[in-house]
Amino acid sequence: MKIAIIGAGNMGSAIARGLVRTAQGIDVIVSNPSAGKLDTLKKEFPQIEITTDNGMAVKGADFVFLAVKPWKMEEVIAEIKPALNYNKQVIVSVAGGVGSESLDGWLVKEGGLLPQLYIVIPNTAIATLCGMTFISGKRTVQSSDVYLTSLFDAMGKAMMVPEKLIPAGTSLASCGIAYALQYINASMQGGSELGFSHSQALEIVMQTMRGALSVLEAGGAEPQTEIDRVTTPGGLTLRGLEAMREGGFSQSIIEGLHASIKK
Ligand SMILES: NC(=O)c1ccc[n+]([C@@H]2O[C@H](COP(=O)([O-])OP(=O)(O)OC[C@H]3O[C@@H](n4cnc5c(N)ncnc54)[C@H](OP(=O)(O)O)[C@@H]3O)[C@@H](O)[C@H]2O)c1
């Protein structure tokens, strides 16, 4: 299996690194206009092929990943379209906010010919093989669905969803990384005010987050069940939770999730 990745930025490079670390029997080629990021990738993983020629990258590839900025997508598709064979090649867009209708409009060939098309939205944690990736397919066949899902499952977790859920998935998991880190930031600030150093507070909050996840994973429980377990009537946790509720804690998170899918 050969995978071409067009664009060696944050996401393109993270996918390339993830693929060579987790997938067996695949050749990865990455294309980018400037050499710096390509050289870095090549130094780290000599088995990755690199090129500055997009047309050459897609030649013979089974899957072509488009990992350029949304506003570059039309131009890049126009450039590689003559070299693409839709009978053999599957197109995968990782661009946020670019729907299949726009992609089809740019990809369509004479006679209305269109490829198997995926929209794939990973988050930055695929770099540490702990990603959450949403995949939505159009005109795809089951074997490609299974294969693509297995590639991203190996880099964390992957979930196939209808395209209409992609914005919600982006909000919850891609923007969500920043939201989870914002909780960590706020807790660290509070920890510092209560007397811990910055580095102690970071260590404590990270371990507390790991602890919260571990009790959820071990018990298969609902978060509320675990919250109830730590919360005794009239106790300290209850006092803290009430102060957080009065400050609009949960509501502000829900509003943030809604805000990040608004056009
Ligand atoms: N970062 C995330 O968390 C995340 C999550 C999900 C989806 N995405 C999506 O992933 C895509 C890439 O984002 P990113 O954060 O990786 O951006 P990025 O770091 O700016 O990477 C984009 C890359 O595309 C290259 N490029 C520009 N023009 C090109 C061309 N004509 N042919 C080939 N490569 C070209 C750029 O090269 P130069 O810098 O040399 O010009 C750059 O290396 C975006 O569409 C974004 O919406 C990102």
Residue of 29, 52, 69 to test ligand 1 pocket, by largest number of atoms within 8 Å of CB = 69
- Atom 18 in ligand 1: residue holding the nearest Cα: 9
User: Which residues contact ligand 1 via a Cβ below 6 A?
Assistant: 6-12, 31-34, 37, 54, 67-70, 72, 76, 94-96, 121-124, 174
> For residues 148 and 92, is the Cβ–Cβ distance under 8 A?
yes
- Complete domains list, the chain, with CATH: 2-161 (3.40.50.720), 170-259 (1.10.3730.10)
**CA-wise closest residue to 103 among 95, 111, 18:** 95
pLDDT at position 175, please?
96
- Atom 46 in ligand 1: residue holding the nearest Cα: 95
Confidence of residue 262 (pLDDT cuts 50, 70, 90): confident
Confidence of residue 151 (pLDDT cuts 50, 70, 90): very high
- Look up residue 134 and give its two tokens: 């949403």
pLDDT at position 146, please?
97
Rounded mean pLDDT of the chain?
96
Averaged pLDDT, 18-24: 92
Instruction: Give start and end residues of each alpha helix (H) in 45-160.
Output: 54-58, 73-80, 100-107, 142-153
Strands (E), the chain: 2-6, 27-31, 49-51, 63-66, 90-93, 117-121, 131-138, 156-160
Backbone angles phi, psi at 71, to 5 degrees: -75, -5
> For residues 174 and 121, is the Cβ–Cβ distance under 8 A?
yes
What's the rounded Cα separation, in Å, for the pair 30 and 93?
A: 15
Query: How many CB atoms sit inside 10 A of residue 69's CB?
Result: 13
CA of 23 to the centre of ligand 1 (A): 22
Confidence check: pLDDT of 125 > 80 = yes
Q: pTM for the complete prediction?
A: 0.93
> What is the CA 203 to chain-centroid distance, rounded?
25
- Atom 10 in ligand 1: residue holding the nearest Cα: 95
Confidence of residue 150 (pLDDT cuts 50, 70, 90): very high
- Look up residue 102 and give its two tokens: 């726009």
> For residues 64 and 84, is the Cβ–Cβ distance under 8 A?
yes
Among the atoms of ligand 1, which is closest to the Cα of residue 96?
Answer: 47
> For residues 8 and 42, is the Cβ–Cβ distance under 8 A?
no
Averaged pLDDT, 234-262: 96
For 70-93, what is each residue's pLDDT tens digit? 999 999 999 999 999 999 999 999
Averaged pLDDT, 129-151: 97
What's the rounded Cα separation, in Å, for the pair 135 and 137?
A: 7
pLDDT at position 219, please?
79
